[in-house]
Amino acid sequence: MLLNGKELSLKMKESLIEKVAKLEKKPGLVVIQVGDDKASSIYVNSKGKLAREIGYNFEHIKLPTTITEEEMIEIIEKINKDNNINGVIVQLPIPKNLYATKIINHIDPIKDIDGLTKANVGKLFTDKAELISCTPKGIMTLLKNYNVEFEGKQYALLVEADSSEEEPEVVLMRYTEEGEEVFFETIDDDDEFERVSEYIENLDTEDEDEE
C-alpha cells in the first residue's frame, strides 16, 4: 500500500487556513537558526513559506555560529514572555559547541513546537502530551488517515535521527492509540541494519504467502 502524504498534507493545509482565518489574532511562529547550514536554510524557508500561506506571522531569527549558549537562552526566554509568539523552533543541527538539549529545554513547553523539551517528551509516557514531535505525529496521522490497523500485525520502524529526536519516535511508535506494541530499534551498524531489513522482507513474504 502506498500512503500519499502529500495529498493528506494539502487537505490539512486547507483546513488550517480556514481555522486561522477565523481567529481574531494571527498566531506567531519563530524559528531560530544558528549558522548557514544549507539543508537547515532550506527547511526554514519551507517552514516560513507554509506558515505564511496558512496565515501565521512568521519570524526567522538567524544567529552567527559565534553565539554562546547563554545568549541563545536569553533570546528564548524573551520569546517565552512575548504574547505575540505562540511557538518557537530551534532549527537543528546547531554547532557542536552549543548544547542543543540544554538550549531547547529553556523553551516554554507550551511554545515547544517540535515537542523536544523534557516536559513534552515526558508527557508522552503518560499520554498527556500537548505538542508532539512532527515526525512521529506525522507518521501516526498518515497511518490513521488510511485506517491502518495495528491489531495482530507486526511492524518495524527504522529511523535515522538526531539523538534529540529519537525519544519521541520511540515513545509514540512503541504504543499506538490502540495500545498495540510496535517493534522499534535504533541501528548504527550497517550489518545490523541489513539483518533487520532482511527480517522485515521475510515478514512481508510470509504475509503474502498467507494471503
CA 92/CA 182 separation, integer angstroms: 27
Alpha-helix runs per DSSP H in the chain:
5-21, 38-54, 69-81, 100-104, 118-124, 134-145, 163-174, 190-210
C-alpha cell at 194: 541489513
Contact 179, 211 (CB under 8 A): no
C-alpha cell at 22: 477565523
Q: CA angle, corner 69, sides to 71 and 171, nearest 5?
A: 125
- Please identify which of the residues 33, 91, 111, 112 carries the catalytic annotation: 91
- Please identify which of the residues 33, 47, 111, 112 carries the catalytic annotation: 47
What is the b/e burial string over 22-49, where b = at least 16 CB atoms within 10 angstroms of the residue's CB?
A: eeeeebbbbbbbbbebeebeebbeebbe
CA 104/CA 150 separation, integer angstroms: 33
Q: Is 33 a catalytic residue?
A: no
Q: Is 91 a catalytic residue?
A: yes
| CB-facing half-sphere around the CA of 103: CA atoms within 13 A | 27
3-state helix, strand, coil in the chain (%, to 5): 50, 15, 35
- Please identify which of the residues 33, 111, 114, 123 carries the catalytic annotation: 114
Active site residues: 47, 91, 114
